[in-house]
């Protein structure tokens, strides 16, 4: 099985940083809105860039990193069990088995989560018949609206004026993927944005748990613990985790858990508790975050870099009109 273009990672990065330069696409502006009138635009000036990286290009980059003869990549392996025998581990798949001295298990384990919400999305990568207006701006969280069990918004990445990703997204208490709902949302988005689709290049979908990591099994270093619990943004944090983990392993020859920011973990928990406790106006909560905080704090909130002072500013932004 060859690598496929199955997803796009988006993230913020300082301008001219490694991951900013590595990105396929970059934007200086991100837009938020409750409706067509209440619009907020973050201008990142010369400090930040909102970036997008295709999985295919990232996989190609990874293959170059793994070209060393000591590396072997086994694709399409459905792991059935991991057994410890003396000082070795036996990893069993449906088609093969492997012996190893160390195991780092990055598979997602639903029983390891205690989710407050699920981030559920369905996107279409499309070519347009006519140019998109304001194609230099990401629609990050536009047309925010409260729904029965959460909040919904539109997410649009304009790769060019005629090539975009349309991805309606919901944060929901209920883990349910309703394809009919998302397809209708895409039709509604096209009407609002005067979009006429010429060709659909590919589709992507997913469900991400938004909540605290609950427990670990003895082989596990859950990738779920690397995702931002309150946002789903995790690409940069995953790269940082991998680098730090590899460094610790090389230094000590032991598999050690990476410690995360207690401030950000606390803020994630409090924010999700608050969001879950209110039944209405969840859309207003996210709109206030974008409207009442400057872009630097919003970026740090979404990227696991909050300071204690930032936490107070986040709280104040929610009570400010």
> Residue 208: inside a domain, yes or no?
no
**Total of domains in the chain:** 1
* pLDDT above 60 (res 214): no
> Residue 85: inside a domain, yes or no?
yes
pLDDT digits 0-9 by tens, 11-52: 999 999 999 999 999 999 999 999 777 999 999 988 899 999
pLDDT at position 46, please?
83
> Residue 80: inside a domain, yes or no?
yes
Number of continuous H segments (helices) and E segments (strands) in the chain: 8, 14
pLDDT band at 221 (very low <50, low <70, confident <90, very high): very low
> Residue 82: inside a domain, yes or no?
yes
pLDDT at position 135, please?
93
Q: Give 142-146 contacts, CB < 8 A, sequence gap 24+.
A: 142/31, 142/32, 142/33, 142/39, 143/33, 143/34, 143/35, 143/189, 143/192, 144/32, 144/33, 144/34, 144/283, 144/284, 144/286, 144/287, 145/34, 145/283, 146/280, 146/281, 146/282, 146/283, 146/284
> Residue 98: inside a domain, yes or no?
yes
> Residue 39: inside a domain, yes or no?
no
Least-confidence region, from 8-17, 124-133, 157-166: 8-17
pLDDT band at 4 (very low <50, low <70, confident <90, very high): low
Q: Which domain holds residue 80?
A: 76-103
> Residue 88: inside a domain, yes or no?
yes
* pLDDT above 60 (res 312): yes
> Residue 90: inside a domain, yes or no?
yes
């Amino acid at each position: 099985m060859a690598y496929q273009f199955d997803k796009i990672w988006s993230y913020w990065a300082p301008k001219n940083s490694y991951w900013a330069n590595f990105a396929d696409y970059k934007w200086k502006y991100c837009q938020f809105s409750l409706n067509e009138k209440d619009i907020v635009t973050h201008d990142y000036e010369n400090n930040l860039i909102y970036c997008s990286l295709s999985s295919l290009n990232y996989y190609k980059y990874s293959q170059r990193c793994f070209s060393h003869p000591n590396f072997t990549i086994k694709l399409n392996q459905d792991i059935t069990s991991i057994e410890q025998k003396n000082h070795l581990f036996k990893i069993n798949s449906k088609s093969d088995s492997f012996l190893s001295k160390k195991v780092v298990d990055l598979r997602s384990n639903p029983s390891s989560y205690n989710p407050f919400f699920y981030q559920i999305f369905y996107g279409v990568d499309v070519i347009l018949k006519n140019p998109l207006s304001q194609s230099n701006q990401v629609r990050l969280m536009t047309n925010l609206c409260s729904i029965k069990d959460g909040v919904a918004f539109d997410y649009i990445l304009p790769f060019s004026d005629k090539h975009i990703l349309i991805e309606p997204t919901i944060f929901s208490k209920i883990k349910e993927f309703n394809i009919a709902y998302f397809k209708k949302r895409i039709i509604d988005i096209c009407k609002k944005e005067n979009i006429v689709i010429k060709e659909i290049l590919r589709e992507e979908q997913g469900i991400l748990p938004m909540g605290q990591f609950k427990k670990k099994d003895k082989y596990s270093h859950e990738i779920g613990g690397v995702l931002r619990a309150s946002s789903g943004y995790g690409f940069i944090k995953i790269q940082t985790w991998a680098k730090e983990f590899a460094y610790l392993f090389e230094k000590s020859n032991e598999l050690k858990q990476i410690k995360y920011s207690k401030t950000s973990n606390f803020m994630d928990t409090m924010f999700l508790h608050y969001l879950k406790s209110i039944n209405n106006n969840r859309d207003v909560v996210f709109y206030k975050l974008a409207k009442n905080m400057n872009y630097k704090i919003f970026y740090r909130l979404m990227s696991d870099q909050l300071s204690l002072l930032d936490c107070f500013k986040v709280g104040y932004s929610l009570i400010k009109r």
